[in-house]
Amino acid sequence: MTNPASDSTTSKSPAKDAIVKALATGFWVGYSPITAGTVGSIPPLLIAYFLIGDNLMLLGAIALFTTLLSIWVAGEAEELFGHDSKSIVSDEYAGMFITLLLVPISPTNYLIAFVAFRFFDVIKLWPASAAEKLPRGWGVTLDDVVAGIQANIAVQLTLLALARWF
């Protein structure tokens, strides 16, 4: 049985559909044939490391902006790709930026943050599992926001423990 919403244009605006597809897929990263969510978490990590650096205000603003944008764009993208499609990775951007808030910049710390975010995003501990049940873009995005918060807490505790031991 085929899914009629699967990557088909259903709105009356091809330009809007193209913008939604670009944003929802993280500029086509979501089309990755291998674990799109994991691959979709890499660009925000690189953006934070190489472009944002230690500018906490900018990282916070980008985390908020990508969260709000993802809520809208993921809701629109569901009409094109189907409910919570794996191609939608705008939520990974939001969750990864949140994970990186207040994490000291270093390759090791960012690797720990990446692994933590992927772990919490996959296992969906409560309240992420509850947030996932929200409608449209809210559910698609807010479970990753919660996973990002959980991952951030885990990273902060891990770094604190490592600092005490080493």
Per-residue pLDDT of the chain (166 residues; tens, 9 = 90+): 334 344 444 557 999 999 999 999 999 999 999 899 999 999 999 999 999 999 999 999 999 999 999 999 999 999 999 887 899 999 999 999 999 999 999 999 999 999 999 999 999 999 999 999 999 999 999 999 999 999 999 999 999 999 999 8
Place of tokens 């807010």: 142
